Structure 1
């Protein structure tokens, strides 16, 4: 059974039980109260009858036998007239419970032994579908001790209680109808947000991860909805990241296979020509050189991949590094290469000390400078500037090369991604350098940003925490 059904029927059952219990208690108390009042009235009536009978009997100057046989009916008739005809039957018995007078058609049911200490007793009984109250009191006159039993109808009390029961059933029926309506509305109000949330979960289970619970409510359900939406946002983000990772892995595999295929095809082709054809010495030298260059390219590719993989696994040692000395070493290394390509290198370094691995940092900056070289056609300038800023020690590397679109910036750190593949391969690149750079930046807990405009060039800034890792 769903939550709505459980709440709906639970509320109906609870209200029914409460109404039944309290209604039953109320009717029982009302009945007991009515019966108690009727009993008290009949007791008083019985006592008044006894007093009236005693008074009338004392005024007679007859002997006992004569009173019992001749005058008793007159006395009872006189008392009845004075008290009204509420009695159904009157019985007078002596101490041996022998009836000396009776006009009751129902008969006497109460016994002398049932009387209490106050010489009064009563009995409620049912006869032919009617309810009766029989009261008995002790009476003492000159002729002896007697007991007067008076039977009266109390159908009115039971009729009242039966009428009350009928009215109660009607009220209970109306209350149940109202309860059903209110329980339905209340249950719907409580469960509707949960049902909507359940529908949202079902949609997400079917792969619609952008679905959100659009429910406006307060309390615990509102908190649950908000928490679910936060969880859904994180889940969608994680799934997107997983999908992006899977895509990049597929791209990496495809690109890696392609990078291997191109030089291997050339190596196999030229090797086959050298093996199967009679070639001139110059041709053999040319083909051998081409095979050698393609082999070196594969070697460089394998070494770069090894560096990229090993960075995640090996323990890297960090030391305090003088930036002035490190950048001077880099300048000496790249200056000749850049000069050969008619590229001018400008460097301005503010001395500082950072913590890191010097070999990795040199590889980082030389990779970025080399990428800048590949982006420049003809004469150009590559500038390196390192200064202290509020954010930390910041290194800017700028070139006036071909630049790139904004959409390309996020992709340049993906393995084997090349904006201009033909030029990159011509320059001996495989598209792994910037992936390696990103890894080195991450290892040093540094932050970097790339700004570029097509035809204007590129600026890469890297911020290190000065004097700490």
Structure 2
């Protein structure tokens, strides 16, 4: 069953049961209260009758009768009691009060009532207690009240009757009205609950619909915030989850694209030298060439082979760097900078590029070979950014608690939009120029991994036509 119908039916059932129980107790309480008043009135009527009979008895027995007559009265006691009872009449707004007078054997002496009600209740009364019972005759209900009455040291029993049919009729009428009211209440409440439940569950429908859309791949789905209650908070959390999921999916897609670009670029990098190598090798194998052509072809095969070897080694280094931990060593900065400058000097001099190398005294905690790869890569990239001539400044300086290694050139520079991409594998700002110079676009990607392994940071600053500055900030360094 849908959550909507669960709320709808449970609300209707709870409302109906609660209303029914409350109404039943209210009607029953009202009936009992009215019945209690009728019982009290019946007892009062019984007391009035008792008082009236006693007064008549006193009047009858205090009259100046002769002793003979008094004796006759004693002998004909029942006739006297009957005569006295006949003279007693109590009028109320409902008419005369019907009553019945019985002797101590529960035999009727006098009755002003035509009701055929037995007097078995009298046997359950004590000599000083009153009692009542509700008697049903046909469709009518009567309140039968009785009490003992002492006369001439004998116990008589006085019964009076009160018609309370209207109480039961009123109760029945109230129950009938209650049934109609319950039906009306259920219909009205049903309509209201239906609208309220639909309004309350509407955000859940939006959530369900958005969830299905996301399951079908539409990760841009969001839910409208219609309230600030628990469902509103759930919708807000759902939107946060959807945003995070969309970002994660986009990151996965981006990673997949980069992986595809990586594979495509690597395949292209392999295909170009292999095609040339196969072509020149085929020429050497199948054609007769002079000595100079043979040397040129062999030299080209050699250079392309070395480029392919370099490309493979760089790729291998990238994979290895993700899997191994390296032991850090203490290295003196000045000696380290002199060694790198000496290695790069011949290649830079050949292209008429000036290298200025200097370093402040410090002890660096690094992996020497890997960090040397980073520095040489940065210097070589600076060389490739210049056509003919220029200047490269390779320096090491203290800045507060960090030791900063910088490579600054006077080359072509880059646009700001290129800076965030240059550390991606196979990314090249000028692909034709980079490939012509033997590049594959893997250098800075390897550098970024090495720098991260040293828990350091690498920043780029560049302006088109003014050059580029790369800075590595090492924390693991000490002053001498």
TM-score (norm 2): 0.87
User: Partner of 2:218: helix, strand, or coil?
Assistant: coil
- Residue matched to 1:40: 40
Is 1:347 aligned to residue 390 of structure 2?
A: no
Contact 2:42/2:161, CA 8 A, preserved across alignment? no
- Residue matched to 2:471: 461
Query: Could you tell me how far 1:188 is from its partner in structure 2?
Result: 5.1
Contact 1:86/1:152, CA 8 A, preserved across alignment? no
After superposition, the C-alpha distances for 1:36-75 in whole angstroms (9 at most, x for unaligned) are 2211221121122123223323433552575534762x53
**Among residues 143, 151, 155, which one is paired with 2:161 in the alignment?**
151
Contact 2:424/2:445, CA 8 A, preserved across alignment? yes
**Among residues 109, 130, 148, which one is paired with 2:118 in the alignment?**
109
User: Partner of 1:138: helix, strand, or coil?
Assistant: strand
- Residue matched to 1:401: 411
In 2, Cα distance between equivalents of 1:173 and 1:158: 23
Contact 1:123/1:135, CA 8 A, preserved across alignment? yes
* Aligned 1:230-269 pairs, distance under 5 A: 230-269=240-279
In 2, Cα distance between equivalents of 1:288 and 1:306: 26
User: Partner of 1:403: helix, strand, or coil?
Assistant: coil
Change (3 A) 1:188 1:319: farther
Change (3 A) 1:115 1:399: same
After superposition, the C-alpha distances for 1:305-337 in whole angstroms (9 at most, x for unaligned) are 111111111221112332222111111111111
Is 1:75 aligned to residue 92 of structure 2?
A: no
Contact 1:134/1:151, CA 8 A, preserved across alignment? yes
Contact 1:89/1:104, CA 8 A, preserved across alignment? yes
In 2, Cα distance between equivalents of 1:189 and 1:133: 55
In 2, Cα distance between equivalents of 1:39 and 1:365: 112
Query: Could you tell me how far 1:341 is from its partner in structure 2?
Result: 0.9
Q: Which moved more, 1:48-57 or 1:238-247?
A: 48-57
- Residue matched to 1:91: 100
Query: Could you tell me how far 1:87 is from its partner in structure 2?
Result: 5.6
User: Partner of 2:133: helix, strand, or coil?
Assistant: strand
Change (3 A) 1:114 1:86: farther
In 1, Cα distance between equivalents of 2:94 and 2:281: 141
Query: Could you tell me how far 1:121 is from its partner in structure 2?
Result: 1.7
- Residue matched to 1:5: 5
Is 1:423 aligned to residue 423 of structure 2?
A: no
* Aligned 1:375-390 pairs, distance under 5 A: 375-390=385-400
Structure 1 residue ranges (4+ consecutive) displaced by more than 6 angstroms after TM superposition: none
- Residue matched to 2:65: none
After superposition, the C-alpha distances for 1:274-314 in whole angstroms (9 at most, x for unaligned) are 22223333322222222222211111111111111111112
In 2, Cα distance between equivalents of 1:424 and 1:6: 69
Contact 1:87/1:150, CA 8 A, preserved across alignment? no
In 2, Cα distance between equivalents of 1:340 and 1:467: 34
- Residue matched to 1:129: 139
After superposition, the C-alpha distances for 1:394-420 in whole angstroms (9 at most, x for unaligned) are 222122222223333233222222232
Contact 2:338/2:357, CA 8 A, preserved across alignment? no
In 2, Cα distance between equivalents of 1:117 and 1:369: 128
Contact 1:91/1:108, CA 8 A, preserved across alignment? no
- Residue matched to 1:15: 15
Query: Could you tell me how far 1:8 is from its partner in structure 2?
Result: 3.6
Query: Could you tell me how far 1:80 is from its partner in structure 2?
Result: 2.0
Contact 2:89/2:97, CA 8 A, preserved across alignment? no
**Among residues 432, 438, 448, which one is paired with 1:438 in the alignment?**
448
Change (3 A) 1:452 1:45: same
- Residue matched to 2:288: 278
After superposition, the C-alpha distances for 1:234-288 in whole angstroms (9 at most, x for unaligned) are 2222222111111111111111111111111112112222222233333222222
Query: Could you tell me how far 1:229 is from its partner in structure 2?
Result: 3.2
Gaps of at least 5 residues in structure 1 are: none
Change (3 A) 1:117 1:342: farther
Change (3 A) 1:373 1:117: farther
Change (3 A) 1:81 1:429: closer
Gaps of at least 5 residues in structure 2 are: 61-69
Query: Could you tell me how far 1:163 is from its partner in structure 2?
Result: 4.9
Q: Which moved more, 1:105-114 or 1:177-186?
A: 177-186
Contact 1:352/1:466, CA 8 A, preserved across alignment? no
In 1, Cα distance between equivalents of 2:292 and 2:91: 158
**Among residues 308, 330, 334, which one is paired with 1:298 in the alignment?**
308
In 1, Cα distance between equivalents of 2:241 and 2:91: 91
Contact 2:262/2:425, CA 8 A, preserved across alignment? yes
